[in-house]
Amino acid sequence: MNILVCDDDKEIADAIKIYLENEGFNVFKAANGLEAIEELNKHEIHLIIMDIMMPKMDGIQATMKIREEYHIPLIMLSAKSEDYDKILGLNIGADDYVTKPFNPLELIARVKSQLRRYTSLGSIETKQHVYQTGGLILDDEQKLVTVDGESVHLTPVQYKILRLLMMNVGKVYSIDQIYEKVWNEPSFQPENTVAVHIRKIREKIEINPKEPKYLKVVWGVGYKIEKI
């Protein structure tokens, strides 16, 4: 699931990002309310963590604007001196709040609690055209691939190979199977045709292509996308 962290304090935002990613969430960041709204328009977000005091557009203004269109869970961050703003935030649509300085375990627990309630109410629709493992997401409707929120530009053939593997996470495909399904013809090609495309995909989606996190080789068998 995707979580948006909105805080102008980079150290706090980075720390929250680390805590959430350790729990398996994908995290997007914004430094003020305007940036948060921009991120919401670009990505499918399932929960927002919103600071109150920020430049350009504060958390109160941003929450009011967000609630005009979105009904996803929103947890507000507030300092102890901001009790009035905290109450106001809850009144205008925040679902919960956490007081700074906060215990990371408490924040994670509140995030999970809000997401459980949200999903139990059926508010998150499963999109059959979106495939995800870890921070790697393929949206087949938009023909969009992102890794940790960053867009990845693939050639049509590279996209088809990745889509095949993403649609069947954990399943190993031989070189011949990949060729036949992607090129729609019998596999009478040199083995390195698929291997070259696989290498190019790795260069684009992996932090370290030589030690891939997502696109794995199963020696003597073929390739697969790792389930994370």
CATH number given to 130-225: 1.10.10.10
Tokens describing residue 106: 């408490």
For residue 120, which amino acid is it?
A: S
Q: What is the pLDDT of residues 87-101, one digit of tens each?
A: 776 777 888 888 888
User: How far is 225 from 228, CA to CA, in rounded Å?
Assistant: 9
* Sequential pLDDT tens for the chain (228 residues): 789 999 999 999 999 999 999 888 889 999 999 999 998 888 888 899 999 888 888 888 898 888 888 888 999 888 765 566 667 767 778 888 888 888 889 899 999 888 887 766 554 444 568 888 888 999 888 889 999 888 899 999 999 999 999 988 889 999 999 999 898 888 776 668 899 999 999 999 999 999 999 999 998 889 999 987
Domain boundaries, the chain: 2-120, 130-225
**CATH fold for the domain made of 2-120:** Rossmann fold (3.40.50)
Burial of 195 (0-12, 13-18, 19+ CB in 10 A): middle
Predicted confidence at residue 126, as pLDDT, reads 47
Burial of 173 (0-12, 13-18, 19+ CB in 10 A): buried
Q: Which residue has the tokens 């649509």?
A: 93
Q: Which residue has the tokens 């962290």?
A: 5
pTM of the model: 0.54
